[in-house]
Structure 1
Amino acid sequence: MSWRCSNKSAEEDEVSAKAVRDAEEWFVAQSIEKEWKELDKIIPPVPERRWFPPKPGWKMCNVGFTFDGNKKIAGGGWVLRIERGVVLLHSRRSFAGIKTKDEARFEVLLWAAESMKSHRQTKVIMAGEFSELFGAVQRPEAWPSFLFQGTEIRRELSGVEEFELSVVNRSANRGAFFIAQSVTNLGLANSYVAAGHPPWLFEFFVNESRLL
């Protein structure tokens, strides 16, 4: 007995897979929207902008991470934008076998640095909630406990022509954080890099750009 696989079957499989991905992204959008509404009930709106653009001629790479100690996984997300707030690239990745929050923080930042190098970016400001790791990169003698992490991150960033490091709080880093959160909170483990912003965060990024 012989088996044959037609092109039609392969096309049907691709359509089915795309439908599943679209459904996942739709549920992400609903979850994020619900979270924003809940936050708005607790935190009064503030007139100032939350995301601060890079200086002219530079790009801002916001990096976010989340950690689930029960499942031992971390979620990572980065968003690369120019001064007008336009998103050039964004990425998501799932990390398995992560034991601590510090390990999650390090692995995600190292991945983001590797990504900037592999995409041959120049004049990049790396921004996120990484005060200890950024300190270890810039002043290793002052952060002996993070000597290994600082050395590894510095090695990757050495492949980026002109970079700066900027510690920002969660409110200035929400886009990248939401992407990372989709891994740990919603189980979206597929890793990818794509041009522009995520379709399910369209409204969020548009609104941030309007505040510039």
Structure 2
Amino acid sequence: MMILEKNQPVISEHDSWVWRHTRSGLYSVKSGYELAFTMKNVELIRDQQALPSLNPLKDRVWNLMAPSKLKVFIWKALSGALSVLDGLRDRGMKCDLECQTCGETGESINHVLFSCTFARQVWAMTRFPSPPAGFDSFSIFVNVNYLISFWETKKHVFEATRNFPWVLWCLWKNRNNLLFEGALFESVQVCAKAEEEASQWYAAQSLERRSTDDNRNRLIQASAAWKRPPENFVKCNIRFKWEDSRGTVLLHSRRSFGNVESKDDAQFLSVAWAIESMRCHRFRMVYFAVEERMLVDAINKPSDWPSFKFKILELRSILRDFLEWKMLAKSYEANRGAHLIATSVVMDLRFQSYVARSQPIWYSEVFHNDNSDRHGVP
């Protein structure tokens, strides 16, 4: 019974196919390949999802503040994809069994980056706090997990924690210089090189970010502000708040919904309430402004969203009573008034539903209303 309530049938139209492996309900080649791979590699996926696993740690690598080549390098290190002597020997190649840097037997990725005598010297010279018991001699998972976890939690306290990707990179380059060019730099030089490259990269990022922010601010000022609708139209800004402007406000409303199981349901219920409210107050030419682009696309072109056919047909049946309407996707900046009103339902416990004239008392204080335009804000 609950399944039928969640998937309500559309009795006014013929049955049609819906692809349940995409959100919209339309088939895509990508989703088809993903489904085929999943069905064909059940055991492989189960093994990958088993814990402990390197996969969650590999995902965290991509969040590091470092160049892409360094992220790829660390990902390869965790994946065992760097050409070290142990790996070459396991593949049947004849090679020396001793580390060319320190002379110990065996050369694993973890050895080159952490447990080698030379690597230990470099890490001791960096300002990155070492583990209490030192780096693990056998597990690259333990060592890289320590570096990333410390960076994630202490990056605002210890500035030096951000340089560790460059330390790993310079250790690897130094090892290759010894093997292929016969030149081994001193640990002090490797440490200084890592800090220099990190400082240069962060300086370049700071300049680029400043330029990007300036451009973004100009774009927001030019296009993100609330815009008045054409003559004879009113604009209805819609926003919902789900827990698991400028202008003279004609109406504003709040409504609290209970037993809403998903964010999608909250979106549809909020828009249906707003449309119904505008219809009941006899507005016949309305621009509806919604932040959720997915919902706007589904209402404007239902054929591309068969998964939401029942809900979309309900909304469009209400919209038939309007002489003219338009559903627009708007940014948060252009929809901030409706956002604040929706948030007040949850934050201020305003669970009583109503539609009222004008605006809340605080509205003009937030937006410094100049009474030059007008719009409705359910």
2:230 corresponds to 1:55? yes
2:323 corresponds to 1:148? no
Q: Do 1:197 and 1:205's aligned partners in 2 also have CA atoms closer than 8 Å?
A: no
Structure 1 residue 134: Cα displacement: 2.3
TM (normalized to structure 2)?
0.38
Q: Cα RMSD over matched residues?
A: 2.6
TM (normalized to structure 1)?
0.66
Q: What amino acid is aligned across from residue 167 of structure 1 in structure 2?
A: A
Q: Distance in 1 between matches of 2:242 and 2:332?
A: 15
Which position in structure 2 is the counterpart of 1:13? Answer: none
Q: Distance in 1 between matches of 2:344 and 2:354?
A: 13
Q: Distance in 1 between matches of 2:348 and 2:321?
A: 33
The 10-residue stretch of structure 1 (196-205 or 109-118) with the greater mean CA deviation from structure 2: 196-205
2:353 corresponds to 1:191? yes
Structure with the greater relative contact order (CA < 8 A, sep ≥ 6): 1 or 2? 1
Structure 1 residue 157: Cα displacement: 1.1
Q: Do 2:284 and 2:321's aligned partners in 1 also have CA atoms closer than 8 Å?
A: no
Q: Distance in 2 between matches of 1:201 and 1:104?
A: 24
More helix by share: 2
Aligned residues: 157
Q: What amino acid is aligned across from residue 256 of structure 2 in structure 1?
A: S
Residues 50-81 of structure 1 show CA distances to partners (whole Å, capped at 9, x for unaligned) of: 21111222111000111111xxxxxxxxxxx9
Q: 1:138 to 1:150 in 2, by over 3 A?
A: same
Which position in structure 2 is the counterpart of 1:139? Answer: 301
Structure 1 residue 47: Cα displacement: 4.2
2:274 corresponds to 1:112? yes
Q: Do 1:51 and 1:208's aligned partners in 2 also have CA atoms closer than 8 Å?
A: no
Q: Percent identity?
A: 38
Structure 1 residue 114: Cα displacement: 0.8
Structure 1 residue 124: Cα displacement: 0.3
2:341 corresponds to 1:179? yes
Q: Distance in 1 between matches of 2:217 and 2:326?
A: 32
More strand by share: 1
